[in-house]
Amino acid sequence: MNVFISADWEGIAGLVSWHQEKDDTMRARKLMTGEVNAAVDGALAAGATTILVNDSHGSMRNILIEELHPQAQLLSGGLKELSMMAGVQRDMDAAVFIGYHAKAGTTRAILDHTYSGSVVHEWRINGQPAGETTVNAAVAGYFGVPVVLVSGDNSLQDEVEALGAVHVQVKEAFSRYAALNLHPTVAQERIRTEVTKALGRLDAFHPFQPKTPVTLELDVTRSSMVEEILLIPGMKQTAPRTVAFTHDDVLVGFKAMLAAITLAGTVNRG
Ligand SMILES: [Zn+2]
């Protein structure tokens, strides 16, 4: 069994503010590596033979490789065609998301955003608001891979369960920047146990495959971003701050959205 792990940062127990990335970098990276290792342990206990961990946050160079479980391999660094899902195309049987967070616009959710806090107000798949969990599950689904488990705060639960995956809560959000955290040891034990259980009944999970042709929409934060995004062939403006892209191929749509977000991030501010 080949297991893919996409590891983000905002949903790790103990992390509540992006300031910790600058002020307390090594501790944050240790905590993230600890939860990834728990998922690796859990996967090995369920019989995983290959484990590919994709560092999916910011620079994508966060996980401490020397502290990573030796039976896992680490995809580290940025500029990856499939971004947070790079590696899932390598004949994987299951996907696990660690350290994930709620979509942009969620109330009382630690560091809620969707791919880019400065660009994306809302991302929709076939009319339904989607966070990184759902978007990334669609990429996994394209390759026939089910998402079996997602860890993060309590605000993520509904989105995870809508996909039929197991939600592991490691903290309870009191606001966007405050959470009641489980002790890292307890959070990691919970992840380890639940990953083993989920992978032990892999047949119960199904790849998320949105209806095609799929329409992906982005509400962006500034009208000028739309003007940049319209440089992408096939991209349509449907409202002053909304673009839409329809395609038979979900992966083409995903890449078009990533291109739109990247382009919008470079917008000329006049
Ligand atoms: Zn992140």
Contacts of 24 (CB under 8 A, 6+ apart): none
Is 206 annotated as catalytic?
A: no
Would you say residue 12 has pLDDT above 80? Answer: yes
CA dist., res. 149 & res. 63, Å (int): 20
**Residue 144: what pLDDT?**
98
Domain assignment of residue 120, yes or no: no
Please answer whether residues 190 and 150 qualify as being in contact, where contact means their C-beta atoms are separated by less than 8 angstroms. Answer: no
Q: How far is the CA of 163 from the centre of ligand 1 (A)?
A: 20
Q: How far is the CA of 122 from the centre of ligand 1 (A)?
A: 16
What whole-number percentage of the chain has pLDDT above 70? 99
Would you say residue 101 has pLDDT above 80? Answer: yes
Is 249 found in the same domain as 181?
Answer: no
**Residue 163: what pLDDT?**
98
pLDDT tens digits along 71-95: 999 999 999 999 999 999 999 999 9
Please answer whether residues 99 and 9 qualify as being in contact, where contact means their C-beta atoms are separated by less than 8 angstroms. Answer: yes
Pairing assessment for the beta strands 214-220 and 120-125 based on DSSP bridges: antiparallel
CA dist., res. 59 & res. 40, Å (int): 22
**Residue 93: what pLDDT?**
98
Q: Which strands, in side-by-side order, build the sheet including 50-55?
A: 72-75, 50-55, 2-7, 94-100, 147-153, 166-175, 178-181
Q: Where are the alpha helices (DSSP H) in the chain?
A: 19-23, 25-45, 132-142, 157-162, 184-199, 223-229, 250-264
Is 84 found in the same domain as 40?
Answer: yes
Which amino acid is residue 83, in one-letter code?
S
Is 106 found in the same domain as 32?
Answer: yes
CA dist., res. 211 & res. 93, Å (int): 22
pLDDT tens digits along 14-69: 999 999 999 999 999 999 999 999 999 999 999 999 999 999 999 999 999 999 99
User: Dihedrals φ, ψ of 90, to 5°?
Assistant: -90, 55
Count of C-beta atoms within a 10 Å radius of residue 47: 12
Domain assignment of residue 152, yes or no: yes
User: Which residue has tokens 């991302």?
Assistant: 123
Domain assignment of residue 119, yes or no: no
**Residue 101 DSSP one-character state:** -
pLDDT tens digits along 109-147: 999 999 999 999 999 999 999 999 999 999 999 999 999
Catalytic hit among 57, 101, 113, 167 = 113
Domain assignment of residue 122, yes or no: no
**Residue 115: what pLDDT?**
97
Please answer whether residues 195 and 1 qualify as being in contact, where contact means their C-beta atoms are separated by less than 8 angstroms. Answer: no
Give the pTM.
Answer: 0.98
Residue span of the structural domain in which 57 resides: 2-111+131-204
Residue 16 maps to which CATH number? 3.40.50.10780
Question: How much is the mean pLDDT over the chain?
Answer: 97
CA dist., res. 220 & res. 258, Å (int): 13
Nearest C-alpha neighbor of 88 from the set 141, 44, 167: 141
3-state DSSP assignment of residue 170: strand
Is 68 found in the same domain as 30?
Answer: yes
**Residue 267: what pLDDT?**
80
Q: How far is the CA of 204 from the centre of ligand 1 (A)?
A: 28
Domain assignment of residue 96, yes or no: yes
Residue 246 maps to which CATH number? 3.30.1360.130
Q: How far is the CA of 84 from the centre of ligand 1 (A)?
A: 9
